[in-house]
């Protein structure tokens, strides 16, 4: 029998309540303005480097296809945009129960991460909750989307208190852990478009098998691999309990590397554009080509972007200034996010 839970016993979260490198949430008015003005006849959008799903969240009136190479992003996108219905009461009851947990035993998280990114007690809680979500799913007590929403709640809660500067390349040593893990209830739509799809695969492979009116492309710009910056969230999302190593306690990430962070980015981009089936392609790419340090510099030149897109259709370029996220090693002025809109020939 369901247990009545008062609304003041839990807090809620929205899709943008998460820190993430390259997050486009603040640029949504710019992006949606271009789409609304230039692409009036679209009913479906494929966001093939979706990240946290911020851009997709602005187009929930359309059929949404999301994709990301990282499972931790895929599971969050499935939570927010998945076509499957879910029971909000189940999520609320689990969140309230998880937040009340105390005095937990050691587990994979305490064994590997105690007093690094999180305190020992929070690691015990993270490990217990993640194990419990899988147990509920395997017993059939929660469906696939409910599982995704609970994992999303956990990942957002972790990110809110993590002892980092916004990513997991390192943790700060000798600090006091003054914030305790608290899960929020994600305010995901109960009924999304039944034709929505969420993928966790290589974008270059995906575009060979999907079609959409608009394909939005927001690839990594530089050599910073997202699986390096968010390895711990990826570890907890996958929950395969791998061996971790080094000071940063990273797992093996060799199968999660993106070509768009390497010297082969231009070649990968050209192949991607050639295989896309859409009326419009909208590429988001900033003007970091020679502005930051070597790791920050863009991997694809403007000349190559234009050359490749102009083979596919008619191209317009839009730009808007914004403050770039840096790790403190780059002093970057006049940073611009550019949107390259390609109206495809066929």
Residue-wise pLDDT for 115-150, tens only, equals 999 999 999 999 999 999 999 999 999 999 999 999
d(CA 59, CA 66) in angstroms, rounded, equals 12
pLDDT of residue 66: 98
pLDDT of residue 237: 98
pLDDT of residue 186: 98
pLDDT value at 8 more than 80: no
d(CA 157, CA 99) in angstroms, rounded, equals 11
Enumerate residues 6+ apart whose C-beta is below 8 A from 55: 24, 28, 31, 47, 216, 218
Residue-wise pLDDT for 66-114, tens only, equals 999 999 999 999 999 999 999 999 999 999 999 999 999 999 999 999 9
**6-15, 198-207, 306-315: which range is least confident on average?**
6-15
Handedness of CA 16, 20, 26, 32 (dihedral sign): negative
d(CA 215, CA 273) in angstroms, rounded, equals 10
pLDDT confidence band for 7 (50 / 70 / 90): low
pLDDT confidence band for 331 (50 / 70 / 90): very low
pLDDT value at 194 more than 50: yes
pLDDT confidence band for 323 (50 / 70 / 90): low
Residue range 281-286: mean pLDDT, rounded: 92
Mean of pLDDT over the chain: 90
pLDDT of residue 297: 63
**209-213, 240-244, 257-261, 302-306: which range is least confident on average?**
257-261
Enumerate residues 6+ apart whose C-beta is below 8 A from 15: 52, 53, 54, 57, 80, 186
pLDDT of residue 224: 81
- The torsion defined by the Cα of 46, 151, 93 and 87, in degrees rounded to 10, comes to 30
Structural tokens at position 143: 């469906």
pLDDT value at 19 more than 90: no
Residue range 285-301: mean pLDDT, rounded: 63
pLDDT confidence band for 174 (50 / 70 / 90): confident
The domain spans of the chain are 7-179+193-201+218-268+283-307+314-344
pLDDT confidence band for 178 (50 / 70 / 90): confident
pLDDT value at 302 more than 50: yes
């Amino acid at each position: 029998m369901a247990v009545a839970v008062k609304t003041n016993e839990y807090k809620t979260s929205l899709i943008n309540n998460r820190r993430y490198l390259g997050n486009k949430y603040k640029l949504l008015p710019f992006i949606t303005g271009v789409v609304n003005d230039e692409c009036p006849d679209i009913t479906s959008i494929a966001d093939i480097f979706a990240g946290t799903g911020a851009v997709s969240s602005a187009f929930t009136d359309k059929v949404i296809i999301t994709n990301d190479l990282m499972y931790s992003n895929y599971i969050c996108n499935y939570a927010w945009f998945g076509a499957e219905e879910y029971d909000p009461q189940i999520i609320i009851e689990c969140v309230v129960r998880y937040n009340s947990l105390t005095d937990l035993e050691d587990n994979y998280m305490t064994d590997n991460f105690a007093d690094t990114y999180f305190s020992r007690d929070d690691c015990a809680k993270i490990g217990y909750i993640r194990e419990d979500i899988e147990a509920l799913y395997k017993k059939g007590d929660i469906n696939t989307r409910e599982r995704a929403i609970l994992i999303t709640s956990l990942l957002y809660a972790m990110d809110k208190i993590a002892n980092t500067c916004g990513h997991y390349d390192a943790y700060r040593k000798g600090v006091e852990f003054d914030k305790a893990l608290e899960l929020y209830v994600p305010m995901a739509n109960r009924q999304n478009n039944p034709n929505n799809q969420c993928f966790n695969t290589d974008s270059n492979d995906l575009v060979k098998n999907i079609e959409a009116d608009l394909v939005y492309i927001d690839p990594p710009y530089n050599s910073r691999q997202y699986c390096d910056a968010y390895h711990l969230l990826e570890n907890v999302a996958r929950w395969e309990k791998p061996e971790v190593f080094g000071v940063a306690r990273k797992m093996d990430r060799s199968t999660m590397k993106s070509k768009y962070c390497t010297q082969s980015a231009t070649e990968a981009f050209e192949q991607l554009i050639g295989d896309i089936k859409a009326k419009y392609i909208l590429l988001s790419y900033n003007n970091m080509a020679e502005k930051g340090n070597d790791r920050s510099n863009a991997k694809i030149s403007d000349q190559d972007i234009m050359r490749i897109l102009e083979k596919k259709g008619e191209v317009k370029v839009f730009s808007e200034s914004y403050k770039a996220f840096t790790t403190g090693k780059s002093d970057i002025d006049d940073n611009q996010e550019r949107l390259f809109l390609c109206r495809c020939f066929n």
